[in-house]
Chain A
Amino acid sequence: MFGYYLDLALRSLRRNKALTVLMVLAIALGIGASMTTLTVLHVLSGDPLPGRSDTLYYPQIDPRDDSGQMPGEEPPKQVTLIDGLNLLHAKRADRQALMAGGYVPVQSDAAAVDPFYTEARFTTADFFPMFGTRFRYGRGWNAGDDEAKARDVVINGELNSRLFGGADSVGRSLRIADTRFRIVGVLDDWAPNPHFYDLNTGSFGRTEQVFVPLQTAMNLKLERHGSNDCWGRGTGGNGRIYPGDTCVWLQFWVQLDSPAKAAAYERFLVHYSQEQKALGRFVKPPNVRLRNLMQWLAHEKVVPDDVRLQTGLAFGFLLVCLVNTIGLMLAKFMRRAADLGVRRALGASKRALFAQLLVESGVVGLVGGAGGLLLAGLGLWAVRQRPSSYAALAHLDGAMLLVTFLLALGSTLLAGMLPAWRACQVPPALQLKSN
């Protein structure tokens, strides 16, 4: 029976070619646009470290005075150097790392490579095990190297390719700001998106090429790169002068393996704030936050507004396309009311009629859905050609492919069922009477 209905459907669709093309194109365009924007939204609101993100937390404390320089109840988004080092040395978490962004001149021993500037991360040792960075060669440094201000450096795979042609460069050296550093590790392709651990240097498509121990970098006064907020007498610093004691400019991350530990750590932050207040450093009553990675990203609203708006717009468009197709399909079925009336009078059940019409509208929906998938691929390609920082990330993954399929199927059923159901309500006798 299905084969026969399919044959009937194809005949009917061929009879109004322009209309069929219009219906298929409308569904395809709607699905293509929605899937493109939804995929971008999905990629941008994704988890940068799946499997690890729920044990990573971003503690915030409030060391500000009440001069009102930074209004609001929310504690600062970064920490001061003193608080960062205190929390780091307290070692109350399973792992902890204090870090800041940098922008450093790199020179290779190979004379052929001109000196160039690149983004750097000044951080303490736990950064690598805590964030689960994959190493191609070697490993990170340890806490002892941090304290010894060792001239160790970890570089990423891209820089390794540029300077050493991708060979194992562990033990070799490079110069940063005219100082010789020993390479201890080479990262595999590791670039979490969004760049969650420091959103000030851009949320997407950012990655550092060199990683230097924080205390070594500060000892050498390597130039930092990022944002700072000051109050009281604090000034943001300039060149090789770092921001003052009343400025926040470092990021502090901790790993807490269980919710109980997280609760204990929050109590520790309150306790620390009280202690600092007793010492006269803090002025305000304890004001702490302990958000995990995904909560932090949501709080910082890393997904650009434009992307949300575009998604809304695309779904609005899809809705118009669906209504359009349903309307046309229904009009088409109603035009054949006489045929349907005759079939009903000859004994076809409503169910049989419904099945026949559904096959016809289903074909339109299915072809439209497939076209939508193609258009989504094309749309994502177009997004990748755009200058936005997140452009390169726009790829269709398994989950989104499934969503696309479901969306296409849902649209098909909606666009198919409603007209089919409406049309098979035709009373047989009435249609036979006229004409």
Chain B
Amino acid sequence: MELRPILSTLRRHKTTAWLLILEIALTCAIVCNAVFMINHLLQHMQMPTGIDEHGLVQIQVAEVAPLPDIYARAREDLAVIRQVPGVRAVTLTSQLPLGFSSSNANIMLDPTQRTPSLNAGTYFGLDLVRTMGLRLVAGRDLRPDEVLDADVVLKLVAAGQTDTFAPVTVITQAMAQRLWPGGDALGKMLYLGPIGVRVVGVVAELARANAYDDATAQYSMILPMFMGAGKDQSYLIRTRPQDRQTVLKAAVAALKKADPRRVVTTQRTYDEVREKFFENDRSMAGILVGAIAALLVVTALGIVGLASFWVAQRRRTIGVRRALGATRRNILNYFLTENFLLATLGIVLGMVLAYGINLFLMLHYELPRLPAVYFPVGAIALWLIGQLAVLGPALRAAAVPPVVATRSV
């Protein structure tokens, strides 16, 4: 294919050609970054929690009048729920993976350390490993005799008598790897402020409640403290996936029967917890998909429009070329090549722009660097769309009969 005639024609329509190149470049740059962000969001939304998500339901209750003994009440409630048919296990927990409302602690390897080694989500409760369905990769779960009521712990800590109890903990593999890279975490000590805690178990995964950042999402630990009944505590019930709704209803009814005056503030399956956590990410991904589609459609229609004009404008020239022996194929190729040239220029410019936008996003929105694979994706998308868009007008051009050359306008 001879490029010279195409270039010389384009030189006669410089402004229009540049506008089209600019449009393709902008579209290419935005689409590259948007696809990247969608991928990033999808990855984030697939975050593993380590728990048996489809077999868990959550109930939160709040009391109208202050309780005389929140610990006794929680034990009674757990006993009541355990009696409900279909309940395989039940526990009281201070937070749920991806539950938003979180409790966290700074972790140190040495009590005199000035800056913490990491910040971890702190789950308080008994029997969490079995109820949540966590996978122990080393050591054991917390034993019932190791778990103290929160009041007892808070009083001891406030009085500075932290050496009178020897707390133990179960941590995640991610946290163990970070604290003791390559080493064995079992039996090691870590510190929450002045309180030393010994690691007795390691679970494969347990996402924290406020897992906004993928890098630190798996830093969680289970501490041996029983929180007692309270509006912020959740009864977490494990059942079979198909029994969730029945068990949920029956458990709520049983709790209401035990004390009709209380208010059930939350009753939902864990799937709903997860759904809620990623709600904004999902809608952002939807908006990005919509934006990509709108951009590509507008650009494609722009190419169609412009090509149609050019074909109409060059009808006579095309007729002359046909009369001089050019085949339909030659004419078709001419317009396809012209569009390919413009698209290529636009894509090259778009790549530079895409890189610039990504640098800006990295600076302001903590987005990672745009991987190089996204560049060819954007390029191929725009080449394809350009060729498809120009095909219609190009076919119309190819259909121009040679006789046009003999007519005066």
Contact = CB atoms under 8 A, between A and B. Distances in A.
A320 B22 CA distance: 8
A22 B308 CA distance: 13
B34 A313 contact: yes
B265 interface: yes
A136 B310 CA distance: 69
Interface string A312-324: 0110110111011
Contacts of B310: 331
Contacts of B288: 313
Interface stretch (A235-243, A263-271, A284-292, A406-414): A235-243
B294 A105 contact: no
Interface stretch (B82-90, B136-144, B279-287, B328-336): B279-287
A435 interface: yes
A328 B306 contact: yes
Most buried by B among A66, A232, A334: A334
Contacts of A328: 302, 305-306, 309
A191 B87 CA distance: 43
Interface stretch (A273-281, A303-311, A344-352): A303-311
B23 interface: yes
Given A68-B114, A235-B154, A117 B62 contact: yes
A48 interface: no
A235 B157 contact: yes
A12 interface: no
A320 B113 CA distance: 54
A323 B66 contact: no
**Majority SS at the chain A contact face:** mixed
A67 interface: yes
Contacts of B160: 233
Interface in B14-68: 15-16, 19-20, 22-23, 26-27, 30, 34, 37, 62-66
A364 interface: no
Interface stretch (B200-208, B226-234, B398-406): B226-234
B150 interface: yes
Contacts of A422: 15
Interface in B181-218: 193-194
Main secondary structure of the interface of B (DSSP, over half): helix
B99 interface: no
B13 interface: yes
Contact of B70 (A234, A239, A313): A239
A327 interface: yes
A178 B62 CA distance: 13
A435 B227 CA distance: 91
A20 to B, nearest CB: 10
A69 B116 contact: yes
Interface in B267-316: 279-280, 283-284, 287-288, 291, 294-295, 298-299, 301-302, 305-306, 308-310, 312-313
B305 A22 contact: yes
A305 B41 CA distance: 14
B287 A238 contact: no
Contact of B23 (A114, A238, A323): A323
B246 interface: no
Contacts of B158: 233, 235, 244
B292 to A, nearest CB: 10
Nearest to B302: A324
Nearest to B291: A313
A231 interface: yes
B161 to A, nearest CB: 10
A314 to B, nearest CB: 8
Contact of B64 (A22, A177, A386): A177
A219 interface: no
A324 B194 contact: no
Contacts of B146: none
- Between B15, B113, B116, the greatest number of chain A beta carbons within 10 A of the residue's beta carbon is seen for B15
A234 to B, nearest CB: 8
A324 B298 contact: yes
Interface residues of A, number: 63
Contacts of A321: 298
Contacts of B299: 320, 324
A217 B365 CA distance: 40
Contacts of A387: 279-280, 283
B252 to A, nearest CB: 15
A326 to B, nearest CB: 6
A105 to B, nearest CB: 4
B243 interface: no
Contacts of A105: 62-65, 263
A248 B365 CA distance: 29
A320 B309 contact: no
Nearest to B103: A236
Contacts of A237: 154
A327 B66 contact: no
A317 B294 contact: yes
B324 interface: no
Contacts of A334: 13, 16, 309, 313
A103 interface: yes
B163 interface: no
A69 B280 contact: no
Contacts of A240: 66
A52 interface: no
B338 to A, nearest CB: 14
Nearest to A304: B280
B261 interface: yes
B373 interface: no
A335 B309 contact: yes
Contact of B30 (A69, A115, A320): A320
Interface in A181-201: none
B177 interface: no
Q: Which 8 A-B pairs have the closest CB atoms?
A: A327-B19, A178-B65, A324-B302, A68-B114, A331-B309, A105-B64, A115-B64, A323-B23
Interface of A: 19, 22, 26, 29, 33, 66-71, 103, 105, 107, 114-117, 177-178, 221, 223, 230-241, 244, 304-306, 308-310, 313-314, 316-317, 319-321, 323-324, 326-328, 330-332, 334-335, 386-388, 422, 435
20 contacts: A26-B302, A29-B298, A68-B116, A117-B62, A177-B66, A223-B230, A232-B194, A233-B160, A233-B194, A236-B103, A238-B227, A306-B284, A308-B365, A317-B298, A324-B298, A331-B16, A331-B310, A335-B312, A387-B279, A387-B283
Given A69-B116, A233-B158, A313-B288, 13 more contacts: A19-B308, A67-B193, A105-B64, A177-B66, A178-B64, A223-B231, A232-B194, A313-B291, A320-B26, A320-B298, A324-B298, A331-B309, A388-B283
Interface of B: 13, 15-16, 19-20, 22-23, 26-27, 30, 34, 37, 62-66, 70, 103, 106, 113-116, 150-151, 153-154, 157-158, 160, 193-194, 227-228, 230-231, 261, 263, 265, 279-280, 283-284, 287-288, 291, 294-295, 298-299, 301-302, 305-306, 308-310, 312-313, 361, 364-365, 408-409
